[in-house]
Amino acid sequence: MEWWQILLIVVAVLAIVLGVLYVLGNRLQKKADSQQGLIDASKQTVSILVIDKKKQKLKDSNLPKMVQDQIPVYLKWRKMPLVKAKIGPKITTLMCDERVFKDLPVKKMIKVDLAGMYIVGIKSLPKVKKSTNAQPVKQGFMDKVKAKAGSLRKK
């Protein structure tokens, strides 16, 4: 076989693989859009007191058996952001969106958008008092290199 025939076969295989990935990606995007529509339709604003938040496997969590049975297999082994919160007089474990999980304050009363047992968004955060004696954030290696490079360009 000539080298150009091998190259042609490799290009054809890559084109087929990319075509399959494109079709699967479109299907998954449509499915995610429909699920997001359902979440938006069923969300409601609720006041909660966040007791604890952590990432752990769903099988180790305190979620009801019915909820654990409905979770897809590929998510059962993954660590998910879980929030232990007090909603009214009841303490429950809630699942949370990754972006919302980072911003949730612990031991604070906040208003969130809740769709079933899933925290979708934060409506209001408590005001945080600025500390006068706050310690400076430790600068990482890459930040130091970028700062040095920036100072060298200015010269």
Q: Do residues 45 and 52 make contact, with C-beta atoms less than 8 angstroms apart?
A: no
Same domain, 118 and 54: yes
Same domain, 38 and 63: no
Q: Which domain holds residue 65?
A: 43-124
CA 149/CA 10 separation, integer angstroms: 42
Same domain, 28 and 73: no
Please give the model's pTM, rounded to 2 decimal places. Answer: 0.62
**What is the reported pLDDT for 22?**
96
Same domain, 31 and 97: no
Same domain, 18 and 91: no
Q: What is the CA radius of gyration of the chain?
A: 24
Same domain, 32 and 54: no
Same domain, 55 and 28: no
**What is the reported pLDDT for 35?**
86
Same domain, 68 and 113: yes
CA 142 to chain centre: 25
The answer to whether residue 146 is domain-embedded is no
CA 52/CA 148 separation, integer angstroms: 40
The answer to whether residue 48 is domain-embedded is yes
Name the region of 107 (left: φ>0; alpha: ψ -120 to 50; beta: rest).
left
Same domain, 58 and 106: yes
Q: Could you count the other beta carbons within 10 Å of the beta carbon of residue 48?
A: 20
Same domain, 71 and 120: yes
The total of structural domains in the chain comes to: 2
**What is the reported pLDDT for 131?**
54
Same domain, 11 and 55: no
Tens place of pLDDT per residue across the chain (155 aa): 788 899 999 999 999 999 999 999 999 999 989 988 888 888 899 999 999 999 988 878 878 888 888 888 877 788 889 999 999 899 999 988 888 898 899 998 999 999 888 899 898 877 665 555 556 677 788 888 888 887 776 65
**What is the reported pLDDT for 44?**
92
